[in-house]
Amino acid sequence: MAKVILTAGHAVVNGIGTGAKVPGFDEAIEAVILRNAIATRLIERGVNVYVDQNDTTNAETWSKIKEIAHFEDVLLDLHFNAASPQATGTEVFYKTSRFLQPQPTAAKLSASVADALRIKDRGAKNESQSQHNRLGVLHLNPERSFLLETCFITNPGDVREYRYYFSDVVHNVTEFLAEESTRKA
Ligand SMILES: [Zn+2]
């Protein structure tokens, strides 16, 4: 069974997140809460899960993942998006692979989270479509590597749905990862 590497994007240093922030929503802190809820459910289901530490830098987290993760494992990095108040929806970035077809898998995850939140599904995107052009977390050992932008924290509607449907998001992401962990890369 493949291991699940579940990480909360951005460090939390002295209780303050280093990701996006709006009043009432700190991306890094919320990602830790979401990560822990999903990890708990996965462990209950007997899935082998590794979670990152909250206060480490990306470089530290990534070197740790390189030590413990393998090609066949599944990695998911949890984020929240920030843009204009009108921007809405869920999207998933995936690692480009010479061996696998990650696009449909990423599309499935994006649809299942958008579905849980009753918001727009922005779909699967490769990293060249990201703001950063290259996403370091998608270049570690697991060939199936995904970055979830759960919803837009700058959109009060997205945040309201996220608060309301949090347990549905946890459920759907847990289902996705549990299924992936039993599939062979
Ligand atoms: Zn982020």
The CATH H-level (homologous superfamily) assignment of domain 4-182 is Zn-dependent exopeptidases (3.40.630.40)
Q: What is the pLDDT of residues 127-143, one digit of tens each?
A: 888 877 678 899 999 99
Q: Sort strands 16-17 and 12-13 into parallel, antiparallel or unpaired.
A: antiparallel
Rounded-to-integer distance, Cα 79 and Cα 161, Å: 16
- d(CA 61, ligand 1 centre) in Å: 15
Task: Give the global pTM.
Answer: 0.96
3-state secondary structure of 118: coil
* Domain segments of the chain as ranges: 4-182
- d(CA 132, ligand 1 centre) in Å: 11
Instruction: Identify whether the C-beta of residue 84 lies closer than 8 Å to the C-beta of residue 20.
Output: no
- d(CA 149, ligand 1 centre) in Å: 7
- d(CA 46, ligand 1 centre) in Å: 28
Of 33-37, 164-168, 175-179, 181-185, the range with the lowest mean pLDDT is: 181-185
- d(CA 7, ligand 1 centre) in Å: 11
> Hey, what are 10's tokens?
């951005």
- d(CA 137, ligand 1 centre) in Å: 11
- d(CA 154, ligand 1 centre) in Å: 13
Rounded-to-integer distance, Cα 13 and Cα 24, Å: 17
**Band (95; pLDDT cuts 50, 70, 90):** very high
Of 30-34, 133-137, 163-167, the range with the lowest mean pLDDT is: 133-137
- Roughly how many angstroms between the first and final C-alpha of the chain, as a whole number? 10
Residue 68: φ, ψ to 5°: -105, -15
Residues above pLDDT 70, as percent of the chain: 99
Residue 86: φ, ψ to 5°: -85, -25
Instruction: Identify whether the C-beta of residue 165 lies closer than 8 Å to the C-beta of residue 117.
Output: yes
Rounded-to-integer distance, Cα 72 and Cα 19, Å: 29
